[in-house]
């Protein structure tokens, strides 16, 4: 279950992130986020992520989920 925060928290994305679409779509770029400030909107547990927990973040006009270890809370 996703826990959406009542108020977004300030965070810092510690690495650049790039995602590409699947082979069926010629590996088109989905997004490229540069390391820097982000808004943390919520969190959820998932075995998909190495830490077992992910943040939902807003950065550069994108809303994505990332491993909790990739974002430091300010």
Domain boundaries, the chain: 3-73
pLDDT score at 22? 66
* Averages of pLDDT over each 10 residues, the chain, 74 residues: 96 92 70 94 95 96 94 94
Write the DSSP string, 11-64: EEE-S-EEEE--GGGTT-EEEEE-SEEEEEEEEEE-TTSTTSEEEEEEETTEEE
pTM of the model: 0.85
> Phi and psi dihedrals of 52, rounded to 5?
85, 0
């Amino acid at each position: 279950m996703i826990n959406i925060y009542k108020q977004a928290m300030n965070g810092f994305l510690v690495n650049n992130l790039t995602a590409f679409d699947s082979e069926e779509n010629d590996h088109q770029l989905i997004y490229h986020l540069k390391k820097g400030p982000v808004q943390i909107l919520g969190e959820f547990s998932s075995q998909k992520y190495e830490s077992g927990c992910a943040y939902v973040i807003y950065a550069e006009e994108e809303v994505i989920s990332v491993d909790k270890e990739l974002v430091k809370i300010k």
